[in-house]
Amino acid sequence: MSEDTARREDREDVPAGVEGGSPGSPRLVTPALLRSWPLPEPDGTKYSRGLALVVGGSCSTPGGVMLAGTSALRMGAGRLHIGTADDVAMPVAVALPECGTTGLPQDDEGAITGERAGALLEKELSRADAVLLGPGLSDAEGAARLLEEVVTVLPDDTPVVLDAFGATTLPDVSVQVVERLSGRLLLTPNSGELARLVEQETLSGDDEVVEAALAVARRFGAVVGANTWIVAGDKVWQVTTGDTGLGTSGSGDVVAGAALGLLSRRAGLVQALVWAKYVHAAAGDDLAARLGRVGYLAGEIPPQLPLVLGSLRGD
């Protein structure tokens, strides 16, 4: 077995005792389940905890990459790099001093065009431990070109998280790109984005969301998280923690970034998403208890993430 194959399989294994359930009887995600499925220990320096790379944003929506990147660091990633629209790369670096940035070509509206993105990000892509593409992107055509460019350069064993436009452009990219992503792909669409992936206008109720997530997981060889559900293959987990206050602008970027941070720490694909979904929801519950059921901001969630992680470890 090659080293790359061993690394890929290590990311995908789901230990006995924490397997998902059936669509009609999902496995509930609880603190007991998570404690029986511990994350890789965050030992060593920032280099041993991995480099998280976030690619996305635009001149009108730079906050998505910042929320995602901050969340990745809060979940234990050692280093962070952000690729975003050229005009906002420097302001993002100033606002988030923990990251490095790369400016990417943009159009007259300030949206990333995707042109030359692979070459501009080649160094960071070659050494990233996990990549998130999608938060804050504002143009579908540019997002598809960006995904094509990134995957062409990205090593074959690097896990990829696609969120928002990054996920919904999957049907628009080449078969070769889809094949290269299969088996190392994590998707975090909302219900509207999930509907587009199955070519429906809307999804009504949990049953339709789960059915769509199962179809998308099979089609793209992905682990899929939508709403309270996580799907891998034909297995289903459900997070019942969390409340309506999590439905706030930028909250999805936090989830995607949290999963990215855990992947950077060498968590498996399923483990990273199950943990990220639960920790995000529990952080929302903590904020609701202090601030109210609604009204807290997505930017207030990341500081809660390591506190929830600590409570699950018994720190």
State the CATH number of the domain containing residue 56: 3.40.1190.20
Q: Is residue 2 part of a domain?
A: no
Q: Is residue 97 part of a domain?
A: yes
Q: Is residue 313 part of a domain?
A: no
- pLDDT tens readout for residues 253-304: 999 999 999 999 999 999 999 999 999 999 999 999 999 999 999 999 999 9
Q: Which residues form the domain of 140?
A: 7-308
- pLDDT tens readout for residues 154-189: 999 999 999 999 999 999 999 999 999 999 999 999
Residue 28's DSSP bridge partners are: 238
Count of domains forming the chain: 1
- pLDDT tens readout for residues 61-76: 999 999 999 999 999 9
User: What single-letter amino acid sits at 286?
Assistant: D
Q: Is residue 261 part of a domain?
A: yes
Q: Is residue 68 part of a domain?
A: yes
Element of type H or E holding 24: none
pTM of the model: 0.94
Q: Is residue 80 part of a domain?
A: yes
Q: Cα separation of 94 and 44, whole Å?
A: 27
Q: Is residue 221 part of a domain?
A: yes
Instruction: Considering only CA atoms, give the Rg of the chain.
Output: 18
